[in-house]
Amino acid sequence: MNSINDDNSRQDLDPQSDHSSDYLAHSLPLQPQPQTHPQPRRPRGFAATAAAAATITPNSAGKGKKEREKEKERTKLRERHRRAITSRMLAGLRQYGNFPLPARADMNDVLAALAREAGWVVEADGTTYRQCPPPSQMASFAARSVETPLSAGSLRACTAKETLENQPPVLRIDESLSPASIDSVVIAERDSKNEKYPSANPINPVDCLEADQLMQDIHSGVHENNFTGTPYVPVYIKLPAGIINKFCQLIDREGIRQELIHMKSLNFDGVIVDCWWGIVEGWSPQKYVWSGYRELFDIVREMKLKLQVVMAFHEYGGDDSSDPLISLPQWILEIGKDNQDIFFTDREGRRNTECLSWGIDKERVLKGRTGIEVYFDFMRSFRTEFSDLFEEGLISAVEIGLGASGELKYPSFSERMGWRYPGIGEFQCYDKYLLQSLRRAAKLRGHSFWARGPDNAGQYNSMPHETGFFCERGDYDNYYGRFFLHWYAQSLIDHADNVLSLASLAFEETRLIVKIPAVYWWYKTASHAAELTAGYHNPTNQDGYSPVFEVLKNHGVTMKFVCLGFQLSSQEADETLADPECLTWQVLNSSWDRGLIVAGENAIPCYEREGFKRLVDIAKPRNDPDRHHFSFFAYQQPSMVQGNICLPELDHFIKCMHGDITGDL
């Protein structure tokens, strides 16, 4: 017994041990034991939690609750930060690597895309294996040092295991790389693949590939701009705004006829005409004058061109002397003198008369009618007046104006208010009707003190980093900021839903179109400040376009997106952190994922070759596995009779859209 140390003795004498009981029964003589109190054991598991809870004082309980709340908030911030990094990585892969990732890609989508880029076959159930490398990857293989070149026969007969052992993957990403460095890896890899079939190639692609596959790939490489056989995309041209005066009279009938002859000779499929609310119902409520439009539509019918019309409920021009001013109806402006809250209002209280505030959509402040009733009466009058053109099929679609410039957005970038690109703009929610809506939403949320606009969101021409609301980790992403931005965006969505519900009644069986803006500046920032003021809650950790497109889908509406026909300079892109390509990718994929019909329109006049080519590439994405394409394209262009355009380039652009031309633009 002396060989047993004290520690072991205490362990053996543990009453919880069966071995200690046997030892005491057989080895030790029975002696009287002194009366002692056993050492209490430390509670563990649930018992420890219960014991600790019993000893917590009210003050310590309150502190513990606060600490838990703080930890929850820190966890949420870390999660949002992680999602922001993931979003930038996915955006880089889409932009620089042409990876066809869905709008809400997960890691399985990323791994599958990387594997396919490396030459692997990934089936729907996740089965992954490698086949003989396609010709597009031969240059990548040639750029690497291959210690043991394979013969043509062994390469053709190689198994998946042998290929895995002998061929390094095309794209390797170290986990330590930042999103920016990942972008550079993808860019370098893409550039290396632009050199096809180098002469110094240790693997002979001709021996490995079938002859017809090789010839097909060579043909596609030589004629990258061959659009023969691609889907037919109709091209419409938008007529100038000033062809009808404020008394609804066609100004130059013969000039319009000559312009339409030019359009017909260029094989345009049809024309787009703005029907201005401020002209047709310009002087008295519910007194509609359509005479000038009837005369114009007769000429279009004579030329056998299709026709799209725009229900234009906004103001046009006035900033530039060359543009005619088309204001809202005069009787609306008279009401606005007594009740200025029918117009959008900024934080300083300045009124914007570009369009009516959405706060009066259901307020009877327009001579006894609500805002949406006024829009519905206008649309119903048009449908009744031109019922013969609808029955003939001349009018192929009707576009519904839903905001400033006819686009679904707030008038946050008004040059009249002093805005200049690339300012972030201002929130337009300070008329009394929208403020009432904000108060109701805050009360329903249980935080009445949130019934206010942000007081640190800057001015029209502020930069995001100059404000406390839009800067990195600014108030836009705290509890109040997310509440306000959700309400602000939901007001835009509700306006679209209300107007489209009545438009579907007025134009039943007719295609409806809604135009979505391209707010691309500050897209590379975390907040996407310009999009937020325009009404799209689209920071890096949230998709602000999907709820809008859900409403458009419910009404069977065609989404028309404003596409840029120009390339930003590197200096402008750096200064404004703009990314029109990534914005275009997000909007188009989000709409296509929801089954929407998609169309396009150029943002500014486009005369040069590269601009036309860029528009065709957007309308017909080359690498889209689902073969999506625009249903039509709306081309904005000043009067062709006055010149200012290279007609051969425009003719080539239309033929590419129609899919009946080969060669480079």
Q: Which residues are catalytic?
A: 407, 601
Separation CA 6–CA 18 (nearest Å): 19
Kind and range of the H or E run holding 518: none
Separation CA 551–CA 559 (nearest Å): 11
Other C-beta atoms closer than 10 Å to the C-beta of 41 total 9
DSSP percent split of the chain into helix, strand, coil, nearest 5 = 45, 10, 45
Other C-beta atoms closer than 10 Å to the C-beta of 523 total 23
Paired with 273 in beta bridges are: 309
Please work out, in degrees rounded to the nearest 5, the angle formed at the alpha carbon of residue 291 by the alpha carbons of 285 and 297: 125
φ/ψ bin of 229: left (φ > 0), alpha (ψ from -120 to 50), beta (otherwise): left
Separation CA 553–CA 555 (nearest Å): 5
Determine the length of the chain.
665
DSSP per-residue codes, 623-664: T-TT----S-EEEE---STT--S-HHHHHHHHHHHHT---S-
Measured CA distances, 121 to 134, 138, 159, 168, 451 (Å): 11, 16, 13, 15, 55
Q: Nearest CA to 542 among 104, 6, 93, 35?
A: 104
Amino acid identity, position 264:
K
Separation CA 609–CA 663 (nearest Å): 13
Separation CA 367–CA 335 (nearest Å): 8
Pairing relationship of beta strands 343-345 and 351-356 according to DSSP bridges = antiparallel
- List, in sequence order, every beta strand (DSSP E) within 357-472: 395-400
| Backbone dihedral angles phi then psi of residue 97, each to the nearest 5 degrees | -115, 0
Q: Are 301 and 295 in contact (CB under 8 A)?
A: no
Separation CA 594–CA 605 (nearest Å): 30
